[in-house]
Amino acid sequence: MKPGALLASLITLGLLGAVVSGAVDVARQKNASIEVGNLRLRDVNDRNRAFLEELADPVRIVYYASEPASMPSELRHLERGVLEVLEAIREVAPERVRFEIVDPAQRPEVAAFATQRRLAPFRVRTVQRDGWTEREVWSTLEISLGARDAAVVNGLLPEHLPRLQSLICAHLKQLEEPARPRIAFAAPSGFSQLRGALAQRGEVLDVDLDGGASLPDDADLLFWMQPTAPTAARLDAVERWRAQGRGLVIAASARAGEFGTVEDEAAVDLRPRDIDVQALWATFGLRAVESPVFDRRCESLILDGQAVPVPFLFRCIAPNQDFRGLPGQPNGNLLFATPSPLELDGEALAERGFEAQVLATSSELSWSLPGLAEITDPEPLRVSALVPESGRNLPKQPLLVLLSPPTSFEGSVVAAASASPFADEFLDSSGYAHRRLVSILLDELTSDERLVMARADFPRPQPLPELTGSERLAWRAAVVGLGPALVLLIALLRGALRPRGQSVERSMRPLLLIGGLVAVGFALGGLGRMLEPAGVGADFSGDGLNRPAEVTIELAEQAASSGGLELEWILSREADLPPRMRAAARSATRRLADLAGSAQGVELTRTVPEELEADALGGLAERGIAPFRTRTTDGGATTVRSIFATLELRAGGRVERLAFPDALSFEDTEFRVAFALWRLGTGERPVVALASDLPRLSPAEAHTEYQLRQLFAPSGTDVYSLARGALERAGFDVEHVDNKPAPEGPSHLTLPEGTRTVVWLQPRRDVRYVLEALANHLHGGGSALVAAQHFRIIPQRYRGREFELAYWPQPQSADIDELWFPEFGVELERTVVFDELKFSADLATEVNRETNQRDYEAQASALPFLIRASSADYANSPMMGGVGDLALPFANAIDLDPQRLAALGLESEVLIETSERSWSFDWEGGDLPQDVLEGPPDGEYEGRRNLAVRLRGRFPLPAEPLRPGTAEDPAPLAPAPGAGDLVLIGASECFKNRWLLEGGFRSDHFLVNAVAHLTLPPEVAALTARRDVPRGLEYVEPDQRLAWRVAVLAGGPAGVLVIGLALRLLAAARMRRATRQRNGGPL
């Protein structure tokens, strides 16, 4: 094609695009549209049409919507789509259906009316000048039928449009004739009273799930008690059923407990049940604690006229329950018999989009007996031997968990660690609120909104037919390659790949060259895959991350010096692994092979359990090597499978085992292996003592929201379980430390034996118990990490304020700014810190529509108290190696007194800072002023502020005893002074379950790095930096960001265009030269 023809074609395409764009705009202005998809907003299906035609009462629909110009770009066409749906409904019954669209922001009287109707705007994120901002918008639908109360659809978004027609009709059906819920009931014998309680609220449909029966399509909710046969196919069917808007209540425990006697002494018999609880809970992103767990706050049974505490009968008191956001709370005790407490699997929950809310927990006096986890036929245990000293202290354990789905179109899951609250034996037990619990769950899961979602005639995608692996691969290849193949075929048929005057053979040379390169690439890739297990390969990473570090090789050779080192890699076949683990498992296999090939005296063997005989598999079980249960989706097929992924290291009579149950566990493979080798070589197992906050309401909140209503205020749950799991996954022995001593022991806190490092996540009043132990530990040369902040900012909307959004800093009562820390020159400033360098996230917003009703809605926020710490600003410290950008919501600044530190001989190092564009507000009460959220009121930024520091040296003891001793209970003796090591972080929220893995910001990396450097030799701890993480940028002005983005996005195409034009010009010059040469003219 000549240059002129090419230019003409480009101009024609541009004009055609302009014409089409103009036609679309005119069509929108004229309310005209063309629908070419299978789902058409203007088409009313037959069922909805018949229902609308038979309606007798008038229908009024009001859509409260901000004008399109004030909406974010992704919402600007939402009003147009809603209008099309409403017009289509009106066309079916024009005499009965009327609607209007109003903008409350433009009409104050409409906003006041909407507030009286308990309607509220919501916040959304948007990009402005290439940066995140947030905006308040209206998009709420109110549906009225006759004189009945209106139904409301809050937060209408584009994803509602395909379902909006059916959603409106389903609400109208519920308004016209409120339906009773239909409840599927699957339970063994012993739950007849529960069935009766459910029958009082709705129609009960008995279903034998364990016997293979299918779930009824017309049910709204499933109560599944103590399943016995949760096969992969059954669990997949239950999950698909839930995804259609139905709720689940599932209760199961792995053990049954019986109370009896052994030699006239009270004993308990804990027998495993015939159920795979790990497979059951893996479907929903949960795990069950393997070891039997006990609680000192337990029920007592009468034996020979005496009350005997039975620690497997957990008494969950009202303060250990948190039903905020639900229609009520039991406000009484719940009994969980032989529960299998639930653990949150952060990676799996994020993959499924669930948000976990722990409703009930054990007490802070819980402990486990890990040695019984693998015993399938245990002997009865004497009650007198069941004491915390015989096991391992635990934080509060989740017993009842609510899993909320990412969209309202899916159903929620209530998971119970024991079925006893629902069993006949305990449902009506005196002193327990089990019936109240059932009532609350029914109120939540069978509300009008939930019934509408479960029964609406939504268009649903049809499940794909079962395909084999080869069939899925063939279809993928066909879909991916079809387009390029058609383009190439057309080019060949038109001769576009054969320039004029060239022979066919010569014109095919480029294609042959490309084909040859592709073939060589496939051959090299296949050869690399074949050689990976042998450790053969090339490392092109800049830091040599794909080869073992010298220190790892040295540790392996040291461990092998006393008779050799054996590495046994027990790994399932790659085809059996979840897709997200396969690449990581291949990389780990290659790294282990590299290590075995580089270190002297190291032998690596690979064991594939699926290829072993039954006896050999039994041998693995005897060694404590068990499979992991995981739920995976591969090519549209969902399965729950058992996989093996364990590395066993043996040297000098010692054994270490590393488990790899998920993709996260592979991230720090080399550090974990090196740490295990260090433990093998030294025999040391350093203990990390972890004390953590139990988030509670402020005294004012507890009084006004609970005590005045004769309710018990929740005392908090363990919100740092994922952080604890990250440390345990890295290889540390983590011991839980209560925030105060046991009631029957000394009044001074004692750290676990062998404690090397203390981790204290969010001190909270009364801090003196832990602070006394921490001060003694640091004074004696120990190390510690303290993460604390003064505020947690809560978005709130109140009907009395016309639902105007306000931000209230909830005090956290850390108190370390008043006790001991100021004595050596450190202050955690009690001000709210803001930074232009921020991130965006959904925050749980309190919406108070009624005096005694508080709803929690996830609403977008991008305000400057969501501080983003850029890795570009980190100190050049080994501790920060391999740590990417961090999300530090509501962080506080740390002020250091250099003179005081120097006088005590303490060295300070700043690890993390804000950007230069930070400011603060000295909060003394009330909500944050709006102008403070928009920037420094005086226009002056405060520059960089310290957010994390490291202090090393001899820490002084408190000037005044934090808890004076007595003659009967003396204070602990001060240890001999030594050089301590303290990392103080002005943020703790980032280590909570909600934020630990938030949006790719990996606070767990920072936590593991810090604890490793505080606990281990520097050369071993330095291996935590061997992660491939993206580096962040410092704060960049919005205009500069936009310019750089345009340059990056346009640079590639512009470069290709320039190169293409240059090649075209060169080709034209060669053709002119060749033509002149043939004509005999001058060159």
For the CA atoms of 71, 74, 77, 82, the dihedral, rounded to the nearest 10 degrees, stands at: -90
| Rg of the chain in Å (alpha carbons) | 33
The residue-averaged pLDDT of 956-980 equals 84
Is residue 1001, in this structure, part of any structural domain at all? Answer: yes
Instruction: For 549-603, write each residue's pLDDT tens digit.
Output: 999 999 999 999 888 999 999 999 998 898 889 999 999 999 999 999 999 999 9
Amino acid of residue 357: Q
Token pair of 928, please? 């944050």
C-alpha span between 1021 and 601 (Å, rounded): 24
Res 539 pLDDT > 70: no
Identify whether residues 570 and 604 lie together within a single domain: yes
3-class secondary-structure state, position 317: coil
- The separation between CA 781 and the C-alpha centre of its own chain, rounded to angstroms, equals 36
CATH number reported for the structural domain that contains residue 157 in this entry = 3.40.30.10
Would you state the structure tokens that stand for residue 1067, as one six-digit string?
């080709």
d(CA 845, CA 891): 19
What rounded mean pLDDT belongs to the chain? 86
pLDDT at site 386: 81
Can you give the pLDDT at residue 568?
95
How far, in Å, CA of 971 to CA of 963, rounded? 7
Q: How far is residue 712's CA from residue 709's CA, in Å, rounded to a whole number? A: 9
Which three-class secondary structure state does DSSP give residue 44? coil
Residues forming a β-bridge with 734: 688
Q: Could you give the dihedral angle defined by the CA atoms of residues 599, 603, 604 and 610, in that order, rounded to the nearest 10 degrees?
A: -170
Mean pLDDT over 921-943 rounds to 92
For tokens 């491939």, name the residue: 1028
Decide if pLDDT at 108 tops 80. Answer: yes
Alpha-carbon gap, residue 12 to 926, rounded angstroms: 62
pLDDT > 70: percent of the chain: 86
524, two tokens: 């090299």
Q: Average pLDDT, stretch 837-859?
A: 80
Q: Is residue 195 part of a domain?
A: yes
CA 167 – CA 156 distance, rounded (Å): 11
Q: Where are the alpha helices (DSSP H) in 132-272?
A: 161-176, 192-199, 232-243
Residue whose C-alpha is closest to residue 386's, from 265, 268, 261: 268
> Which pLDDT does position 981 carry in this prediction?
97
CATH number at residue 579: 3.40.30
Percent share of the chain, pLDDT over 90 = 53
Question: Domain end: 144, 161, 176, which one?
Answer: 176
**902 and 995 in one domain?**
yes
Residue 165's pLDDT is 93
CA–centroid distance for 554 within its chain: 37
273 and 402 share one domain:
yes
Which residue, 249, 255, 210, is CA-closest to 228?
210
Residue 703 counted as domain residue? no
695 in a structural domain: no
Q: Which of 1025, 1050, 1067 is the last residue of a domain?
A: 1025
pLDDT tens string 324-348: 889 999 999 999 999 999 999 988 8
Q: Do 749 and 759 meet the contact criterion of CB atoms below 8 Å apart?
A: no
In the predicted model, what is the mean pLDDT of residues 237-264? 89
Structure tokens, 712: 């018990």
**What's residue 395's pLDDT?**
92
Domain that holds residue 539: 531-635+642-682
The continuous run of DSSP H or E covering 775 comes out as helix 768-779
Q: How does pLDDT run across 975-989, given as a tens digit for each residue? A: 999 999 999 999 999
Of the candidates 776, 819, 759, the one whose C-alpha atom is nearest the C-alpha of residue 956 is 776
Q: Are 807 and 823 in contact (CB under 8 A)?
A: no
- The beta strand positions in 52-94, using DSSP E, are 59-65
Helix-helix angle 1003-1015:721-730, to 10 degrees: 50
Backbone angles phi, psi at 704, to 5 degrees: -75, -35
* pLDDT for residue 850: 67
Angle made by CA atoms 552, 556, 557, in degrees to the nearest 5: 120
Distance between CA atoms of residues 808 and 804, nearest Å: 13
On whether both 56 and 203 belong to a single domain, the answer is no
- Return d(Cα 1065, Cα 1061) in angstroms, integer: 6
If asked whether residues 358 and 264 sit together in one domain, one would say: yes
Domain shared by 113 and 238, yes or no: no
| Dihedrals phi, psi of 191, to nearest 5 degrees | -130, 30
pLDDT digits (tens, 9 = 90+) for 413-425: 999 999 999 999 9
Residues 1051, 999 share a domain: no
Which of 186, 216, 219, 185 shows the shortest CA–CA distance to 199? 185
- 574 neighbors 697 (Cβ within 8 angstroms): no
Phi, psi (rounded to 5 degrees) for 948: -150, 135
Structure tokens at 75: 């919402």
Tens-place pLDDT, residues 379-414: 788 887 788 877 888 999 999 999 999 999 999 999
Distance CA 337, CA 419 (A): 8
What was the pLDDT predicted at 469? 59
Gap between the Cα atoms of 854 and 326, Å rounded: 9
Q: How many CB atoms lie within 10 A of CB 209?
A: 21
Backbone phi, psi, residue 356, to 5° = -95, 130
- In the chain, what's the furthest Cα-to-Cα distance? 124
Does 145 fall in a domain?
A: yes
Q: Which two tokens stand for residue 500?
A: 């004029």
Domain with residue 416: its CATH number is 3.40.50
- What is the average pLDDT across 126-136? 69
Same domain membership, residue 1051 and residue 933: no
Instruction: Give the residue with greater pLDDT, 173 vs 458.
Output: 173
Rounded CA separation 161/459 (Å): 11
- Tell whether 696 is covered by a domain: no
Q: Quick check: 757 and 1013 in contact, CB under 8 A?
A: no
* Distance in angstroms (rounded) separating the CA atoms of residues 287 and 811: 33
403, two tokens: 């899993």
Are 985 and 938 members of one domain?
Answer: yes
Q: In the 3-class helix/strand/coil scheme, how is 837-852 assigned residue by residue?
A: CECCEEEEEEEEEECC
**Residue 518: pLDDT above 80?**
no
| Least confident among 215-224, 792-801, 978-987 | 792-801
Same domain, 258 and 157: no
Q: What are the phi and psi torsion angles at 1053 (to 5°)?
A: -60, -40
- The pTM of the full predicted model, rounded to 2 decimals, is 0.86
CA separation, residue 988 to residues 363, 720, 763, 994, 1061 (Å): 23, 10, 9, 11, 56
- Prior bond of 766 cis (ω within 30°): yes
- In the predicted structure, residue 886 carries a pLDDT above the cut 70: yes
Q: CA-to-CA distance for 952 and 905, rounded, in angstroms? A: 9
Q: Give the count of domains, the chain.
A: 5
1002 vs 125: CA distance, rounded Å? 22
Identify whether residues 377 and 437 lie together within a single domain: yes
Mean pLDDT, residues 903-931: 95
The pLDDT of 530-555, averaged and rounded, is 69
Strand partners, 568: 605, 648
Instruction: Say if 856 falls within a structural domain.
Output: no
Asked if 590 contacts 673 with a C-beta cutoff of 8 angstroms, the reply is: no
Residue owning tokens 């003659």: 967
Q: Output the six-digit token pair for 366.
A: 């819980």
Helices 579-598 & 669-682 angle (0-180, nearest 10): 50
Taking the chain, what is the end-to-end CA distance rounded to the nearest angstrom?
A: 24
Which residue's structure tokens are 């030799």? 1017
Report the SS3 class of residue 860. strand
Lookup: tokens for 515: 């084909």
Flag whether 1061 is in a domain.
Answer: yes
Q: Residues 184-208: pLDDT tens digits?
A: 999 999 999 999 999 999 999 999 9
**Has residue 502 got a pLDDT over 60?**
no
On the question of pLDDT at 372 being above 70, the answer is: no
Q: Which of 92-101, 503-512, 546-555 has the lowest mean pLDDT?
A: 503-512
For residue 378, the Cα-to-chain-centroid distance in whole angstroms is 36
The residue ranges of DSSP E strands in 679-749, in sequence order, are: 687-692, 733-736
CA distance 785 to 190: 50
Q: Which of 998, 1025, 1052 is the last residue of a domain?
A: 1025
Residue 65: closest CA among 28, 98, 102, 29: 102
Per-residue pLDDT at 36 exceeds 50: no
283 and 322, same domain (yes or no): yes
Going by pLDDT thresholds of 50, 70 and 90, the confidence category of residue 1081 is low
What band does 496 get if pLDDT is binned at 50, 70 and 90? low
* Cα 480–chain centre separation: 31
CA pair distance 498, 475, nearest whole angstrom: 32
